[in-house]
Amino acid sequence: MLKDEIAKRSTIIEDEINRYLKPNEPGELYKAARHLISAGGKRLRPVLSLLSAEAIGEDVNRILPAAVAIEIIHNFTLIHDDIMDKDALRRGVPTVHVRWDEPTAILAGDTLFAKAFEILTECNVDAENVVRASRVLADVCVKICEGQYLDMSFERKSEISEKEYIDMIQKKTAVLIAASCSLPAILFGKDEKIVKTLWNFGLLSGTAFQIHDDVLDIIGGDKIGKDWCSDILEGKKTLIIINAKKRGVEIEIFGKGSAEEREKKNAVEKLISCGAIDYAKSMAYDYLKEAKSNLYTLEKTQARDLLEEIADYLISRDY
């Protein structure tokens, strides 16, 4: 059911992306810009935008450009992040800087960034609200840059607090989900209270989503589409690692780059038995609960139920 409802909306998004992001000259630049977005992805963010518009009783067609702009921004950040993190694969295809080269990947990302702000102006609502939405989306992009910078700098810092970690993932991941949920309310000129409600729903769900992602890296098994324990091997200071450290548990393979299966298994068992995994899971659950409590201030509709179901899915998915 949820799957069908998501599919129905992501099909609309797919068509709009193709309409707004046509092949153009220079051909290779546009191929590079469209490469990752064409390779798929769940279109989670634009679907949240459509559902948010429905949940406030408005016509989704008038804000489709905003939903597309958000998905394009998401893809721009992935292209640039992959360069910075030196990742070679994403969505089962070579990343843009690997398939082409770094200069092309930088430009492909920049092109998408610019396109997103161009497309946003196509929303069929009052100009004042488009200006507000543009300001919020631009500010969200600044925060995403800050979050990515913090994420990289944490690898060089010895001590990261739980608070610093939450601040980082909220900037890097959650604010764009918050924008996905609240931009429709801004575009339709809704009360600040409703805007805030949807922002908080997205921000807190997005935080839960990222914590769950970190948990999956450790106990997700084969389905996650990347190597088991890769965050641990890369030395990422996730909530789980921070909590284990607080409990005096040392993970030998942390930041080692590679490890034997037996060593990884040992690390995972340690993280489970010390309670760090359960701690992270309960944190994700708490953020989700708080996210949903925001939602309940909106009138009960099918769209609101679907937003709730998606939020539940975000921390129950096993890949």
Per-residue mark of binding to a second copy, 24-63 (x: CB under 8 A): -xx-xx----------------------------------
Interface positions, 110-129, toward a second copy (CB under 8 A):
110-111, 113-118, 120-121, 126-128
E-only strand ranges, the chain: 89-90, 93-94
E-only strand ranges, 28-156: 89-90, 93-94
Residue 139 binds a second copy (CB under 8 A): yes
Q: State whether the Cα torsion 129-133-136-139 is positive or negative.
A: negative
The DSSP annotation for 187-247 comes to HTT--HHHHHHHHHHHHHHHHHHHHHHHHHHHH-GGGGSS-TTHHHHHT---HHHHHHHHT
Tell me the C-alpha distance between 86 and 66, whole Å: 30
Degrees, nearest 5: CA angle 147-151-154: 130
Q: How far is CA 77 from CA 30, 116, 212, in A?
A: 16, 12, 20
Per-residue b or e along 278-307, where b marks 16 or more CB atoms closer than 10 Å to that residue's CB: ebbbebbeebbebbbebbeebeeeebbebb
Rank residues 154 and 228 by Cβ distance to a second copy and give the closer one.
Answer: 154
Q: Which of 8, 19, 42, 135 binds a second copy (CB under 8 A)?
A: 135
Tell me the C-alpha distance between 132 and 290, whole Å: 26
Per-residue mark of binding to a second copy, 155-194 (x: CB under 8 A): ----------------------------------------
Minimum CB separation from a second copy for residue 26, in Å? 5
Q: Which of 10, 52, 95, 104 binds a second copy (CB under 8 A)?
A: 104
How many residues line the site for a second copy (CB under 8 A)? 43
Rank residues 36 and 215 by Cβ distance to a second copy and give the closer one.
Answer: 36
Residue 258 binds a second copy (CB under 8 A): no
Minimum CB separation from a second copy for residue 270, in Å? 31
Q: Which of 49, 52, 95, 134 binds a second copy (CB under 8 A)?
A: 134
Residue type, 34: R
Tell me the C-alpha distance between 130 and 269, whole Å: 51
Rank residues 88 and 152 by Cβ distance to a second copy and give the closer one.
Answer: 152
Taking CB under 8 A as the binding criterion, the range among 47-55, 99-107, 182-190, 258-266 that sits at the site for a second copy is 99-107
Question: Phi and psi (nearest 5°) for 90?
Answer: -155, 140
Rank residues 25 and 222 by Cβ distance to a second copy and give the closer one.
Answer: 25
Rank residues 70 and 240 by Cβ distance to a second copy and give the closer one.
Answer: 70
Residues that bind a second copy (CB under 8 A): 25-26, 28-29, 80, 83-84, 102-104, 106-107, 109-111, 113-118, 120-121, 126-128, 130-132, 134-135, 137-139, 141-142, 145-146, 148-150, 152-153
